Amino acid sequence: MAAATTTSPTAGRLPFSPHPNANPARLSSPASLKTPSKPVSLHLRHLTVPSAAGAAAPYPDSSSSSIPDLLSDKPRDECGVVGIIGDPDASYLCSVALHALQHRGQEGAGIVSTHRPSSDSPVSLRSVTGLGLVSQVFQDKSKFDYLSGSAAIGHVRYSTAGSASSLANVQPFLAGYRFGQLAVAHNGNLVNYSSLRASLEDSGSIFNTSSDTEVILHLIANSNSRPLISRIVDACEALQGAYSLVFLTKNKLFAARDPYGFRPLVLGRLRRPSRGIVFASETCALDLIEADYEREVNPGEVIFVDGHDLSISSLCLMPPKPRKACIFEHIYFALPNSIVFGRAVYSSRYSFGSTLAKESPVANADVVIPVPDSGFYAALGYASHSGVPFQQGLIRSHYVGRTFIQPEQNIRDLAVRLKLAPVKGILEGKSVVVVDDSIVRGTTSSKIVRLIKDAGAREVHMRIASPPIVGSCYYGVDTPRSEELISNKMDVEGVRNAIGCDSLAFLSLESLRNLLGKEAPSYCDACFSGNYPVPPMENEADRLLAEEEE
């Protein structure tokens, strides 16, 4: 192994590891992924808790039905990951950090932690996962007693691959294989998942879930390299697409990011006496558990932390590639109080809105309102630049959505009214500028326009703080197929007519890129431009099968 960057926890701030473009250290000659002569046994586990009688009984999960949000016409938040090592309250801190990342996934949550009953006992990994929100899955103290240990990884999930309602697909995944236990949590999506799974199954691997993340564990188990860091490198070299990963073993925490850097992953240090190390999808998670942000995990980098002394080592996974960070993190996904890809999210959204006001003003407008909550900062920017007063003309209820039973089709519009309440005193008789972050299918936008007009608005002018979405995302965002995207089927006037507003304008792609400045080429805007850094493979399994039959 080539020399790695290693630091002591007493050395102050964590150093910036060499960027992949600056002669980074990496494994000198990683072994290629080979299938062992004998199929490797890999057992995914949802670990058990001793029952009162002493027998092993499954830990009761706090399942809730996975019902789509009533305002579901948005790209779906991908997932959120957290890793903490070096603190006796690691699992509890992990759950708090997951609360901060709840916006990234609401279908399931889980934590895997280290556990050592006594000083002379071996360390093992324990897991608690469940369907629903973090507060539902981890609602009682006994789960943290079970997850006692100084290291933990956690995950909140919205499915981009794998059945949404299956507990088996809730991460982190905990596996036992020939070298011990390994847990993984993944944010992203693998575009070559189908071919990787087919190849592994051909060689004897048996899969327990329908999630693309399980492929990563099988690749690690089937690698002939040693030590574990080499096996992780081997696995990542076989992956195509987006992945921000945290791994946990009995004494180490690993974090890895794909060479394009599609999805965010940051590193920080707890202010607590432990000075433990934290990895998280967004800096808002660091803020909530009082950890200081140090830096991003670089694209193509793997960082591993030794649980004994909290020393940190950094390697480059694979040859450098141009960064392609997801621009939709700044448009919609990330919380406004986060720093993502080195930029403040609230500042980006504010500038998107102010530029939109410059490009597409509305003559004689009376009021600017946001579509809550993601349109808020763009609407502030629009109002500030245009001089039109900002008001909250739509009030969002946070108490309905996931657990509300969807009504029959003939009264489905009531769903939006349950979620958004118009303020008639602000809207009645007014020419209203409505600022939203994006339009996907257009179904919710049309209901919002109707809601505002029913409240007495004289005119409704929609202003969208991003370009038209014309292509699906394949890098960890669940967007509809391209043929379902309204802007892929219609021009702007067609969309305006379909949603029923008096005027409609989008932020231009050129303006978006200008706002990003010299960093623009380092962002992925494939959903707007159709320029995919990694070619999508929508029908990959069918293609491979057809090739075999030929």
Partners of 174 in the β-ladder: 45, 183
Q: Is residue 437 marked as binding?
A: yes
pLDDT at 1 over 50: no
Q: What is the pLDDT of residue 30?
A: 33
Quick one: pLDDT band at residue 163, thresholds 50, 70, 90? Answer: low
- Contact at 8 Å (CB) between 8 and 141? no
Q: Do 313 and 217 sit in the same domain of this protein?
A: yes
Task: Establish if 27 belongs to a structural domain.
Answer: yes
Task: Establish if 540 belongs to a structural domain.
Answer: no
CATH number where 271 lies: 3.60.20.10
Q: Do 258 and 371 sit in the same domain of this protein?
A: no
Compute the distance between CA of residue 350 and CA of residue 383 in angstroms, rounded to an integer: 10
284 is catalytic: no
Residue 343 identity (one-letter amino acid): R
Look at the chain and report how many structural domains it folds into: 2
Q: Do 243 and 284 sit in the same domain of this protein?
A: yes
| Structure token digits, residue 111 | 């934590």
Task: Establish if 187 belongs to a structural domain.
Answer: yes
Q: Do 120 and 234 sit in the same domain of this protein?
A: yes
74-83, 333-342, 489-498: lowest mean pLDDT where?
74-83
Compute the distance between CA of residue 449 and CA of residue 442 in angstroms, rounded to an integer: 11
Among residues 292, 324, 356, which one ends one of the domains?
A: 324
Q: Is residue 436 marked as binding?
A: yes
pLDDT at 14 over 90: no
Q: Do 288 and 437 sit in the same domain of this protein?
A: no
Q: What is the pLDDT of residue 43?
A: 58
Q: Is residue 91 marked as binding?
A: no
| Structure token digits, residue 498 | 């379909």
Q: What is the pLDDT of residue 117?
A: 81
Quick one: pLDDT band at residue 357, thresholds 50, 70, 90? Answer: very high
Task: Establish if 128 belongs to a structural domain.
Answer: yes
pLDDT at 549 over 90: no
Compute the distance between CA of residue 219 and CA of residue 108 in angstroms, rounded to an integer: 25
Q: Is residue 374 marked as binding?
A: yes
Compute the distance between CA of residue 287 and CA of residue 273 in angstroms, rounded to an integer: 16
Q: Do 273 and 392 sit in the same domain of this protein?
A: no
| Structure token digits, residue 157 | 């999930």
- Contact at 8 Å (CB) between 320 and 282? no
- Contact at 8 Å (CB) between 30 and 233? yes
Q: What is the pLDDT of residue 483?
A: 85
CATH number where 474 lies: 3.40.50.2020
Residue 531 burial by Cβ neighbours in a 10 Å radius (0-12, 13-18, 19+): exposed
Q: Is residue 503 marked as binding?
A: no
pLDDT at 19 over 50: no
Q: Do 92 and 237 sit in the same domain of this protein?
A: yes
Q: Do 255 and 350 sit in the same domain of this protein?
A: no
Percentage with pLDDT > 90 across the chain: 66
Sign of dihedral through CA atoms 233, 234, 235, 241?
positive
Task: Establish if 56 belongs to a structural domain.
Answer: no
Close Cβ partners of 59 (under 8 Å, ≥ 6 residues apart): 46, 47, 48, 49, 128, 143, 146
Task: Establish if 435 belongs to a structural domain.
Answer: yes
In terms of residue numbers, what domain contains 185? 5-51+73-324
pLDDT at 265 over 60: yes
Q: What is the pLDDT of residues 187-240, one digit of tens each?
A: 999 999 999 999 999 999 999 988 899 999 999 999 999 899 999 999 999 999
pLDDT at 253 over 70: yes
| Structure token digits, residue 64 | 């809730």
Out of 79, 94, 236, 316, the active site residue is 79
Task: Establish if 159 belongs to a structural domain.
Answer: yes
